[in-house]
């Protein structure tokens, strides 16, 4: 296999000569487990992570063909190669009909054994690759399609081109909604790992109790509810890139375990002592000031410096207003393409109004707004009157307030109205605002909005 670690094979045969022959042929390339009976094989399979089973048809305590269904009940994805004598060739063919992948005929030819085993494990690799490709096909966004002509964004583009060929860890910082995942994908797509998996782990969305299993995987029976062996995201991403979004949400305990992976390039599934090599590139993101979290003892300093090898900061949309008309056109075209219709147009007054808005939810909020106005407005031309209210904030004496004060006043009023519409549901309010729930909580604290 090409997944970066030695595969494990369970050999099940009651003949010592057969067991030893297979051991000699396979031991240099694979991790081997040996069983003489069906009962012994089942105990081993339940306690270890097994990639492939070489199973004799005739065992002292059972028919090997009956064991196929028991193995498949534990792990439906395990591959089984039956071992049969020439006179029992028909039994091997029947076993394939019952779920075996292939069969070996005794006496063995060394090259044939190696070829069948390698072919079977290669098939598992291809299945995993196909799964990942299907998962990625709707999310892939090449570097060349990123929108922006602002000077700060041009610097970001240059940084992407500079850091992509490296294998160093990247830390992307910026407010929620600025496009951190898009940048991470761009770095991956321009790297030497571009044809390998790109796996996203949303640290803020995964409960702390499940994070270790999500990252490292687990063996069947490792904890309540672990009904079968399950690879973790790090194992799935092997030879590719892992994007740890909102890494500041990781507990201190998980930060320590992640640091070990970065330093030693290896890990173990929960419930096993089998080391898995971690040939992965780490890209992390945060909308928090990690150095402040380090000072507050909420983020490990050693992990921060491991991640901060190639730092990249994204500007908020309010600091690149000259890109707003480009982004509006881009999202109008995207919406039209998805719906198979002609793209709608914004009048100059509507564009000017949207350009003046400060966009607390950044590019994500802008994209959500375009989706909304295209959906609710049947006309092809969207005018200023068709836009939702995004009024400028003025001070009580009629004079324009300072930008920071006006921004905060608007944010407070707007967030309160959305929270009211969402009946106080913070998760729903964050979704309507187009920002992350953690960002909403931070904003409400800054603006003095009490949440029950």
Give the burial class of 115: count Cβ atoms within 10 A of its Cβ; 0-12 exposed, 13-18 middle, 19 or more buried. exposed
* Residue 451 in tokens: 């949440």
Query: In the CATH hierarchy, which top-level class contains the domain 319-388?
Result: mainly alpha
Q: Which of 98, 46, 101, 55 is nearest to 75 (CA)?
A: 46
Domains 143-315 and 391-452 share a fold: no
pLDDT surpasses 50 at 393: no
Q: For the domain 391-452, what is the CATH code?
A: 1.10.10.60
pLDDT surpasses 80 at 116: yes
Helix (H) or strand (E) holding 252: helix 252-264
pLDDT, mean over the chain? 85
User: Residue for token digits 């898995």?
Assistant: 276
Give the burial class of 422: count Cβ atoms within 10 A of its Cβ; 0-12 exposed, 13-18 middle, 19 or more buried. middle
Q: What is the pLDDT of residue 81?
A: 92
Q: Would you list the domain boundaries of the chain?
A: 8-128, 143-315, 319-388, 391-452
Q: What is the pLDDT of residue 161?
A: 92
* Residue 50 in tokens: 């097994």
List, for residues 127-142, the tens digit of each pLDDT value.
Answer: 665 555 545 444 444 4
Q: Which of 59, 62, 60 is nearest to 83 (CA)?
A: 59
Percent of the chain with pLDDT over 90: 49
Q: Please state which of the ranges 39-48, 302-311, 330-339, 396-405 shows the lowest mean pLDDT.
A: 396-405
CA angle 171, 207, 186 (to 5 degrees): 30
Domain 8-128 of CATH type 3.40.50.2300:
yes
List, for residues 221-247, the tens digit of each pLDDT value.
Answer: 788 777 777 889 999 999 999 999 999
Helix (H) or strand (E) holding 334: helix 324-339
CA neighbours closer than 13 Å in the CB half-sphere of residue 407:
12
List, for residues 397-439, the tens digit of each pLDDT value.
Answer: 334 445 555 566 677 777 888 888 888 888 888 888 778 888 8
Q: 128-150 burial string, b = 16+ CB within 10 Å, else e?
A: beeebeeeeeeeeeebeebebeb
Residues whose CB falls within 8 Å of the CB of residue 54, separated by 6 or more in sequence, listed in order: 9, 10, 11, 12, 13, 22, 81, 83, 104, 117
In angstroms, what CA-CA distances link 188 with 93, 310, 422?
Answer: 45, 14, 37
pLDDT surpasses 60 at 450: yes
CA neighbours closer than 13 Å in the CB half-sphere of residue 328:
21
Mean pLDDT score, 310-330: 94
pLDDT surpasses 60 at 304: yes
Other C-beta atoms lying within 10 Å of the C-beta of residue 442: 15
Give the burial class of 234: count Cβ atoms within 10 A of its Cβ; 0-12 exposed, 13-18 middle, 19 or more buried. buried
What's the CATH architecture for 143-315?
3-Layer(aba) Sandwich (3.40)
pLDDT band, residue 86 (cuts 50/70/90): low
pTM assigned to the model: 0.62
Q: Please state which of the ranges 30-39, 139-148, 177-186 shows the lowest mean pLDDT.
A: 139-148
Q: Which of 53, 58, 57 is nearest to 120 (CA)?
A: 53
Q: What is the pLDDT of residue 429?
A: 85
Residue 281 phi/psi, 5-degree rounding, is: -100, 135
Q: What is the pLDDT of residue 260?
A: 94
Task: Answer with the residue of higher pLDDT: 131 or 170.
Answer: 170
Residues whose CB falls within 8 Å of the CB of residue 286, separated by 6 or more in sequence, listed in order: 171, 172, 173, 246, 247, 248
Classify residue 318 by its DSSP letter. G
Q: Which of 309, 265, 260, 263 is nearest to 283 (CA)?
A: 309
User: Residue for token digits 């269904």?
Assistant: 69
Distance (Å, whole) CA 436 – CA 434: 7
Residues whose CB falls within 8 Å of the CB of residue 59, separated by 6 or more in sequence, listed in order: 12, 13, 14, 37, 38, 67
Q: What is the pLDDT of residue 399?
A: 44
């Amino acid at each position: 296999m090409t997944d970066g670690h030695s595969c494990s094979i369970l050999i099940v045969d009651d003949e010592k000569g057969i067991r030893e022959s297979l051991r000699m042929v396979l031991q240099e390339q694979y991790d081997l487990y040996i069983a003489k009976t069906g009962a012994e094989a089942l105990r081993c399979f339940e306690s270890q992570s097994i990639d492939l089973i070489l199973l004799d048809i005739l065992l002292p305590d059972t028919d090997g063909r009956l064991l196929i269904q028991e193995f498949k009940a534990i792990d439906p994805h395990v591959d089984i190669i039956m071992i049969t004598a020439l006179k029992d060739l028909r039994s091997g063919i029947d076993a394939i009909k019952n779920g075996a992948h292939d069969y070996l005929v005794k006496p063995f030819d060394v090259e044939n054994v190696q070829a069948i085993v390698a072919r079977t494990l290669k098939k598992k690799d291809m299945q995993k690759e196909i799964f990942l490709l299907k998962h990625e096909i709707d999310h892939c966004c090449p570097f060349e399609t990123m929108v922006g002509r602002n000077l700060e964004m041009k610097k970001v583009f240059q940084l992407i081109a500079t850091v992509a060929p490296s294998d160093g860890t990247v830390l992307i910082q910026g407010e929620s909604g600025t496009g951190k995942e898009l940048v991470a994908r761009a770095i991956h797509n321009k790297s030497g790992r571009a044809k390998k998996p790109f796996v996203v782990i949303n640290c803020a969305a995964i409960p702390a109790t499940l994070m270790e299993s999500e990252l490292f995987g687990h063996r069947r029976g490792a904890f309540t509810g672990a009904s079968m062996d399950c690879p973790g995201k790090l194992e799935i991403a092997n030879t590719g890139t892992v994007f740890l979004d909102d890494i500041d949400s990781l507990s201190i305990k998980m930060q320590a375990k992640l640091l070990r992976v970065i330093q030693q390039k290896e890990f173990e599934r929960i419930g096993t002592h089998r080391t898995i090599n971690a040939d992965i590139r780490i890209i992390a993101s945060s909308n928090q000031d990690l150095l402040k979290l380090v000072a507050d003892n909420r983020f490990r300093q050693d992990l921060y410096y491991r991640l901060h090898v190639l730092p990249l900061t994204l500007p908020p949309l309010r600091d690149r207003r000259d890109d707003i008309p480009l982004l509006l056109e881009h999202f109008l075209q995207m919406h039209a393409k998805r719906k198979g219709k002609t793209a709608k147009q914004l009048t100059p007054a509507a564009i000017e109004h949207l350009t003046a808005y400060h966009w607390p939810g950044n590019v994500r909020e802008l994209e959500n707004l375009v989706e909304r106005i295209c959906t609710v407005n049947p006309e092809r031309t969207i005018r200023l009157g068709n836009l939702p209210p995004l009024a400028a904030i003025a001070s009580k004496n009629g004079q324009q307030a300072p930008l920071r004060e006006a921004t905060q006043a608007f944010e407070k009023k707007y967030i309160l109205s959305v929270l009211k519409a969402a009946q106080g549901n913070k998760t729903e309010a964050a979704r309507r605002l187009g920002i992350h729930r953690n960002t909403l909580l931070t904003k409400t604290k800054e603006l003095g909005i009490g949440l029950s």
